Amino acid sequence: MTLDQLEIGKSGRITTVGGEGALRLRFLDMGLIPHTVVKMQKAAPLGDPIQILIRGYELTLRLEEAAKIEIEPEEAEE
Amino acid sequence: MILALAGNQNSGKTTLFNALTGSNQHVGNFPGVTVERKSGMVKGYKDCEIVDLPGIYSIRPYTQEEIVSTDFILKEHPDGIVNIVDATNIERNLYLSLQLLELKVPMVIALNMMDEVRANGGSIDVEKLSEILGVPVVPIAAAKGEGISELMETVYNTASRKVLPSVYDFCDSSSAVHRCIHAIVHLIQDHADMLGLPYRFCVTRLIEGDGDMDEQLGLNQNEKELIEHIVVEMEDSTGLDRNAALADMRYNFIEGAVDEAVIKSHESKEHRRSVAIDKVLTGKYTALPVFFLVMFLVFWLTFNAIGQRLSDLMAVGIENLTAAAAAGLEAYGLNPVVKSLVIDGIFAGVGSVLSFLPIVVTLFFFLSILEDTGYMARIAFVMDSLLRKIGLSGRSFVPMLMGFGCSVPAIMATRTLSSDRDRKMTILLTPYMSCSAKIPIYAVFSAAFFPKHAAFVMIGLYVTGIVVGILAALLFKSTLFRGNPVPFVMELPNYRLPSAKTVALLLWEKAKDFIERAFTIIFLGSMVIWFLQTFDSRLNVVVDSADSLLAIIGRFIAPVFGPVGFNDWRVATSLISGFTAKESVISTLAVLLGTSIDNLGTVLGSLFSPLTAVSFLVFTLLYTPCVAAIAAVRRELNSGLKTLTVVISQCVIAWIVSFIVYNIGGILL
């Protein structure tokens, strides 16, 4: 599944980071790399963008961007 | 000695910079680009200058901020780097540190917010971390001023003894990445040494394929192919592409370092507090109401409760001063023409503008608090999907919001946007956000014509500006600026109490800037206007102001404003003077009508009807911004022709909208 499909409060582990050019480098620089655990925190009041918890900090990104990140769901809470 | 201060956004960089330099700061630009360059002398150290580099997450050559930071370190050869690292968010912050270490410049890591880490049961073995990273690490709490003197001592010693970082190998020695990096090191080290470039940095750039490193090093075709071959081999054996492989290497190294040296705190009080605050501030049902409430409060406090009151006080002070000066000059027996220049030209012009200083400062006070607490980032989060509809990202909201204060810093704030397209579009839209210098015009007119509905008129004008801006944005989106908005991947920092010192220094800077404008542009404008209205076409002192040079110019232009309802040379003239600074519209009208600003309202009735007053207000709302803002636009767009197009098109739009308002109003009334 992709990051945008993760339910609020659930966690997942990144498997592949897609996207191109500046967007992809931004993902990598912000710590969105394979094997990293992310937790879905919330969606903005208008449904988009979303807020995730990664490496102990809050990051926001849009659904269409999150759709470029493949994850596998994790059972355990972070 | 020159030092560079580098670090992530939200790492407390500004706070540390302020703690190191105090009020002794110089603000300028990096050469050739429009990224702000702040520097200052370090307190207690002679000849030790520190340059505050922009807040960045990486030193790739993609954004202007990243480019100027890298260039500064490589080309201006600072004696040392102070790398500030947020200890509560150490993994992502160290990512930049690893890249900085490759630049082979004496470096010290300032481990900020250690107080928060400790308070939450965490600890960091500073010596261990220093050993792993190969540079001194000094724990500090910049906001409380803790550890600052120890930090500077270490920085001074490291830089003056030229102690280079001792670790720059971040790869596991058995890994494919390691083999790749070292194979390329062998190939290019002598090239890099000859050019005086740090070779590890060159290797990273070559692997990532960013920029023109191969050209810079003068590699031949054979070497380039060999490097490509090595990198492809690394990609094959790691299963990651080159960029991911290096990012993975850095984060792996960091995770190892953190495992050894850091006892993580339990979920910090600050983070829990942030999550709790966010439940309301970005909550599904509460976010928008809270946002509008906050905006309303800021405006009410600025333009009514606090800012306006202080302004009124200041106006009284200036009036008394002017009266005293006039009496003094009279007693001295000064030439009446010169006295008129001083009192009617300079005192009246500059004084009227200065009394609005408190409003500007108050607004910036609130804006800086919104920024420093971390709420500004949430505004971007909450507003993103709305702004995306007009082709912008949530981040553009912040500069546009600043536009309500002053277009100049707002246009400058567009530099934080990483896409050129978004930056340009935001620059074009910002002037539609009615700037605070126009408030005096609105205030005088609404008090004179709509005393009971002043607030309604004000809000109406702001909304009109926004609506016209949105229409313009939709037009731009489908014409000039086709294409996708920038990626919106942004940190939401924990909420923090803003530091009084940071806010105070920012206010001081803004006040200084405003006063400077008052005494340069507006001073000059006042003198020119005084000259034009005191003398006639044969340079004799005029008896009747209708004969003055200015009246001649105003009469020439006035007919243009016939169809929008104010064909009068005095109004035309005041609009011309508004070009130097918006505040001058009111001071010029006052001078031309032979009255003071306070009494202007009572005289305006002879020039305007309520309908033409509205038409005039709409015109001032939308027509070209002041010369300082135009200069900022020119700097950012980097084209005189485009800037001229912007100015002219805004005047045309203003005329059209006023025309519509005046004629529809005429039909309705």
Residue of A nearest to B394 (CA): A49
Per-residue DSSP letter, B175: S
For residue B53, give the nearest of B9, B1, B20 by alpha carbon: B9
pLDDT at B34: 58
A-to-B residue pairs, Cβ atoms closer than 8 angstroms: 112
Q: How close A42 gets to chain B, by Cα (Å)?
A: 9
Mutual angle of helices B357-373 and B307-332, in 10-degree steps: 150
Q: How close A71 gets to chain B, by Cα (Å)?
A: 16
Per-residue DSSP letter, A17: E
Across B199-218, average pLDDT: 89
Each residue of B311-350: pLDDT tens digit? 888 889 988 999 999 999 989 988 888 888 888 778 877 7
**Distance spanning both ends of chain A, measured CA to CA:** 19
**CB within 8 A of B252, min separation 6: which ones?**
B172
Q: Which of A31-40, B357-366, B406-415 has the lowest mean pLDDT?
A: B406-415
Put simply, the answer to whether B244 touches A34 (Cβ < 8 Å) is yes
Q: Give the residue, B426 or B588, on which the prediction is more confident.
A: B426
DSSP result, B65-124: HHHHHHHHHHHS--SEEEEEEEGGGHHHHHHHHHHHHTT---EEEEEE-HHHHHHTT-EE
**What length is written for chain A?**
78
What is the number of other CB atoms lying within 10 angstroms of the CB of residue A47? 10
8 Å CB contact between B544 and B531: no
Distance between CA atoms of residues B318 and B355, nearest Å: 8
pLDDT at residue B55 is higher than 90: no
DSSP 3-state of B269 = helix
Q: Give the residue, B168 or B286, on which the prediction is more confident.
A: B286
Put simply, the answer to whether A23 touches B92 (Cβ < 8 Å) is no
Q: How close B483 gets to chain A, by Cα (Å)?
A: 15
Distance between CA atoms of residues B380 and B391, nearest Å: 14
Q: How far is CA B359 from CA B364, B441, B505, B600, in A?
A: 9, 14, 17, 20
Put simply, the answer to whether A60 touches B490 (Cβ < 8 Å) is yes
pLDDT at residue B485 is higher than 60: no
Q: What is the helix (H) or strand (E) element at residue A56, kind and residue range?
A: none
Put simply, the answer to whether B88 touches A22 (Cβ < 8 Å) is no
Encoded tokens for B483: 């294409």
- What band does B9 get if pLDDT is binned at 50, 70 and 90? confident
What CATH superfamily is the domain B2-160?
P-loop containing nucleotide triphosphate hydrolases (3.40.50.300)
Distance between CA atoms of residues B361 and B515, nearest Å: 11
pLDDT at A37: 94
Each residue of B21-33: pLDDT tens digit? 987 777 766 666 6
Q: What is the helix (H) or strand (E) element at residue A71, kind and residue range?
A: strand A69-74
Beta strand A69-74 with A11-17 is antiparallel
pLDDT at residue B113 is higher than 90: yes
Residue to substitute from A20, A41, A57, interface B, most B β-carbons within 10 A:
A57
Across B25-43, average pLDDT: 77
- What band does B367 get if pLDDT is binned at 50, 70 and 90? confident
Q: Give the residue, B480 or B34, on which the prediction is more confident.
A: B480
Residues of B in contact with A46 (CB under 8 A): 382, 385-386
Go through B176-211 and write b for each residue having 16 or more CB atoms within 10 A of its CB, e for each that does not: bbbbbbebbeebbeebbeeeebbbbbbbbbbbbebe
Residue of A nearest to B87 (CA): A56
Please name each of the domains of chain A with its CATH number: 3-74 (2.30.30.90)
Furthest C-alpha separation in chain A: 33
Put simply, the answer to whether B487 touches A26 (Cβ < 8 Å) is yes
**CB within 8 A of B512, min separation 6: which ones?**
none
Tokens 């790749």 belong to which residue? B180
pLDDT at B289: 93
Encoded tokens for B610: 């309520």
Residues of B in contact with A44 (CB under 8 A): 282, 287, 381-382, 384-385
Q: What is the helix (H) or strand (E) element at residue B462, kind and residue range?
A: helix B454-478
DSSP result, B577-637: HTTT-THHHHHHHHHHTTS-HHHHHHHHTTT--HHHHHHHHHHHHHS---HHHHHHHHHHH
Give CA angle at B529 (B524, B530), nearest 5°.
95
Distance between CA atoms of residues B120 and B235, nearest Å: 41
DSSP result, B352-370: HHHTTHHHHHHHHHHHHHH
pLDDT at B486: 59
- What band does B353 get if pLDDT is binned at 50, 70 and 90? low
Encoded tokens for B385: 């999907």
Tokens 């009124």 belong to which residue? B312
Domain chopping of chain B, boundaries: 2-160, 176-263, 522-668
DSSP result, B187-223: HHHHHHHHHT--HHHHHHHHHHT-TTHHHHTT--HHH
pLDDT at B197: 92
HSE, side-chain direction, 13 A CA sphere, residue A5: 11
Residues of A in contact with B488 (CB under 8 A): 49, 60-62, 65
Put simply, the answer to whether B489 touches A25 (Cβ < 8 Å) is no
Per-residue DSSP letter, B432: G
pLDDT at B43: 92
pLDDT at residue B495 is higher than 60: yes
Distance between CA atoms of residues B528 and B138, nearest Å: 57
CATH topology of domain B176-263: Helix Hairpins (1.10.287)
pLDDT at residue A51 is higher than 90: yes
Go through B574-594 and write b for each residue having 16 or more CB atoms within 10 A of its CB, e for each that does not: bbbbbbbbbbbbbbbbbbbbe
CB-count exposure of residue B504 (10 Å: 0-12, 13-18, 19+): middle
| Four-point Cα dihedral B334, B340, B344, B349, nearest 10 | -80
Across B584-597, average pLDDT: 80
pLDDT at residue B262 is higher than 80: yes
8 Å CB contact between B160 and B1: yes
Per-residue DSSP letter, B331: H
pLDDT at residue B429 is higher than 80: yes
- What band does A78 get if pLDDT is binned at 50, 70 and 90? very low
Q: How far is CA B173 from CA B69, B138, B180, B200, B232, in A?
A: 30, 29, 11, 16, 19
Handedness of CA B394, B631, B657, B572 (dihedral sign): positive
Per-residue DSSP letter, B433: S
For residue A57, give the nearest of B65, B598, B94, B336 by alpha carbon: B94
- What band does B51 get if pLDDT is binned at 50, 70 and 90? very high
- What band does B484 get if pLDDT is binned at 50, 70 and 90? low
Of A30, A45, A61, the CB nearest to B92: A30
Distance between CA atoms of residues B578 and B522, nearest Å: 10
8 Å CB contact between B494 and B274: yes
Amino acid at B29: N
Residue of B nearest to A19 (CA): B487
HSE, side-chain direction, 13 A CA sphere, residue B7: 26
Q: Which of A60-69, B211-220, B234-243 has the lowest mean pLDDT?
A: B211-220
Q: What is the helix (H) or strand (E) element at residue B232, kind and residue range?
A: helix B221-238
- What band does A57 get if pLDDT is binned at 50, 70 and 90? very high
pLDDT at B521: 63
Put simply, the answer to whether A31 touches B89 (Cβ < 8 Å) is no
HSE, side-chain direction, 13 A CA sphere, residue B598: 10
Put simply, the answer to whether B384 touches A26 (Cβ < 8 Å) is no
Spell out where B435-482 has E strands. Answer: none
On average, the pLDDT of chain B sits at 86
pLDDT at residue B309 is higher than 70: yes
Each residue of B623-644: pLDDT tens digit? 988 777 787 787 778 777 888 8
Interface confidence (ipTM) of the complex: 0.94
Tokens 């505040």 belong to which residue? B583
Put simply, the answer to whether B89 touches A56 (Cβ < 8 Å) is yes
DSSP 3-state of B239 = coil
Each residue of A19-36: pLDDT tens digit? 888 889 999 999 999 999
Residue of A nearest to B251 (CA): A31
Handedness of CA B388, B393, B396, B401 (dihedral sign): positive
**Distance spanning both ends of chain B, measured CA to CA:** 71
